[in-house]
Amino acid sequence: MRQSFDWPEPDESWSYSARLTWDSCLQSGQAGWYQASDVATLYRACSLIDRQDKSDRPSAYMEATVQSMLSRLLVSVGDRRNARVELVEYVPDDGPRYSLESLGVADVIEVDS
């Protein structure tokens, strides 16, 4: 059973790209499967994105670290394909839903519109 928790508010001082990353993950279909620890990891990744964006000397190592963190969260379609997981959207009469399908196992979640 999925645990219910409230997502923290994003830091108001974050850069545009950090906030875009946060908002897009929050609105994505896979957000329904995130656990509190996943959201904490995403928050940290967005904080690092912000730090990189505001740095006079951005670090390639830090960029690779952030990309690795996001990849482990299966943020991109490519990450999900590499993990052999597909996010499938369908809209029944009672509202939009997403299904995560992996190796023949499917799980369905209702998504707030």
Question: Could you read off the pLDDT of 56-89 as tens digits, one per residue?
Answer: 999 999 999 999 999 999 898 888 888 777 776 6
Full domain range(s) for residue 55: 16-110
Structure confidence at residue 58 (pLDDT): 93
The mean pLDDT of 16-43, rounded to a whole number, is: 91
Structural domain includes residue 78: yes
In a domain, 46, yes or no: yes
1 occurs within a structural domain: no
Question: Is 94 inside any structural domain?
Answer: yes
Question: Does the residue 75 lie in any domain?
Answer: yes
Quote the number of domains for the chain.
1
With respect to residue 65, please indicate whether it lies within any of the assigned structural domains: yes
Strands (E), 1-113: 85-90, 97-102, 105-110
* Residue 5 domain flag: no
pLDDT in the model for residue 34: 87
DSSP per-residue codes, 96-109: -EEEEEETTEEEEE
In a domain, 84, yes or no: yes
